[in-house]
Amino acid sequence: MESRLCLKELCPVCGDHVSGYHYGLLTCESCKGFFKRTVQNNKQYVCAEQQECTIDRGQRKRCPSCRFLKCLHVGMRLEAVRADRKRGGRNKFGPMYKRDRALKQQRDALIQDGGFRLDSGSSTHHRTLTFTTGFHPLPMIPSTSLPTAQPPHLCSLLPSTQYQSTSFSNWKSQHSNNGSPGPRDCKSTHILYSSRSTDTRV
DNA sequence: GTTCAAGGCCAT
DNA sequence: ATGGCCTTGAAC
Ligand SMILES: [Zn+2]
Ligand SMILES: [Zn+2]
């Protein structure tokens, strides 16, 4: 029942339970970590099939390539991964997370408020919609999750291509190497100046 | 002082 | 490499 005490949403990537907002939307803890590792270490995956692998709780480990692709397709944002690796604080998505939460919360309130529970026959009298919280009648719920966000066209999201967008997307060092699978050593090698990029954490 | 998402740690 | 849990820290 309670939407907050359980977060009954499912991860749009793998279907596992979400643990909160991560890099732009609600995802599970594992996909959060996977996305972070992938972007931070500039991992390059190659699908052994045709980029059509099923990503679910039990198979998400099987094809990192399709998993990362799906991460991007569902809207996880590269720019939410900090190139400078600074911890804590709030990024520019903070307000959006808050609004998205409010939307979901209100939607839930409507549903539980008899929104879709049409009286099972009998009384033909219209029930007065009492908004417990005193909210105004919402025009309509767009149903989509993050409407106000500006989803970059999927084209520019693909890591396989050269050009990236911004922030971490300067893609650090795509030129770092070829052949050797190890971008690694991000810990010892402090890459990049403290670039501010699009991450507006002032 | 509280939030809570972003990064770090480390046992699988 | 994965993912559960921990620490951090600007916004509120
Ligand atoms: Zn997931
Ligand atoms: Zn695949």
* The token pair that represents A128 in the structure block: 């007065």
Task: Tell me the residues surrounding ligand 1 (ion) with CB < 5 Å.
Answer: A 11, 13-14, 16, 28, 31
Checking each nucleotide's C1' against the CA of A41, the nearest proves to be: C1
pLDDT of residue A119: 46
Q: Residue A29 C-alpha to ligand 2 middle, in angstroms?
A: 21
In Å, what is the separation between the CA of A59 and the C1' of C5? Answer: 23
Report the separation in Å between the CA atom of A25 and the middle of ligand 1, taken as the mean of its atom positions.
11
pLDDT of residue A7: 62
Torsion of CA A140, A143, A146, A149, to 10 degrees: -60
CA of A118 to the centre of ligand 1 (A): 35
pLDDT of residue A69: 98
Q: How far apart are CA A22 and CA A174, in angstroms?
A: 24
What residues have their beta carbon closer than 5 A to ion ligand 2?
A 47, 49, 53, 63, 65-66
Q: The pTM is what? A: 0.73
ipTM of this complex? 0.97
3-state secondary structure of A106: helix
- A27: the nucleotide nearest its CA (via C1') is B5
Give the model's pLDDT for residue A163.
30
- Mind listing the pLDDT tens digit of every residue in chain A (202 residues)? 544 555 688 999 999 999 999 999 999 999 999 999 999 999 999 999 999 999 999 999 999 999 999 999 999 999 999 999 999 999 999 999 999 999 997 776 676 666 655 444 433 333 333 344 434 344 444 444 444 455 555 545 554 333 333 467 655 445 455 544 544 444 433 333 333 444 555 4
Q: Can you give the pLDDT at residue A106? A: 78
Three-point CA angle A68, A69, A70, nearest 5°: 90
Q: What is the pLDDT, as a whole number, of residue A168? A: 76
The position carrying tokens 């907002």 is A21
